[in-house]
Amino acid sequence: MEPAGNTLVNLLCRALELKEKKEKLYQEAMASCADDVGRQTFRILYEAEQEHEKALSHIRQELEAGKDWTAACRYEPADQSLLDRLAQKISLDKDQLPEACTEEIKALDAGVQLEEACVRLFEDEIQHVTDPSQKKFLRRLAAEEREHRRLLQDLRFFYTDPQGWFMEKSRARLDGAGAVT
């Protein structure tokens, strides 16, 4: 049986390959995006992928150096959700909701696929590990990738149905009297 550290090193190598692809996609989408909401969303995702890549690379290096996985895998995700970070950076005027170009939708769809691939990678590995702390570590990683996927899906909803998105996210009522209390 392969030691836990070697298994995790192999998993982290595959995860880092996916993260590099996502980073490139988000960087390109950020540069070509026409509106502030899309640019900020892709910027936040790009920065999150950079942070994850740095943390996972550090863990991989420690495991390759022979450090015990329980000491190497001290990984704590950020306290603030990506949606909260996005909300702090943008303000929306319901009368100026943007329309997405085809390229932004393609980038969002590609990002969702890459995020799903990362989620599957971690969840598949969870099925094979027996150590509860390893499962907890992998669940945290999968949860972060699911959050990225939710953010991409939310932005896609924003572009494809801006009025529906605004109604849902602002909790506006149909009579126009404001948010539901």
pLDDT for res 179: 55
- 113 and 47 in contact (C-beta within 8 Å)? no
**Domain residues for 90?**
4-170
Provide the Cα torsion 50, 55, 57, 60; round to 10°. -160
Domain membership flag for residue 56: yes
pLDDT for res 145: 92
pLDDT for res 121: 94
Number of Cα atoms under 13 Å in the Cβ half of residue 107 = 27
Domain membership flag for residue 180: no
pLDDT for res 18: 92
Domain membership flag for residue 13: yes
Q: How far apart are CA 171 and CA 174, in angstroms?
A: 10
pLDDT for res 142: 93
pTM of the entire structure? 0.74
**CATH at residue 27:** 1.20.1260.10
Domain membership flag for residue 176: no
What residues form DSSP beta bridges with 35? none
Domain membership flag for residue 164: yes
- 75 and 63 in contact (C-beta within 8 Å)? no
Domain membership flag for residue 161: yes
CA-angle at 26, arms to 124 and 145, nearest 5°: 25
* Count of domains observed in the chain: 1
Chain centre distance of CA 10: 21
Average pLDDT of adjacent 10-residue blocks, the chain of 181 residues: 66 91 91 82 89 88 82 60 54 49 77 92 92 88 91 86 77 58 47
**Coarse DSSP helix, strand, coil percentages of the chain, rounded to the nearest 5 percent:** 75, 0, 25
pLDDT for res 161: 84
Domain membership flag for residue 178: no
pLDDT for res 158: 82
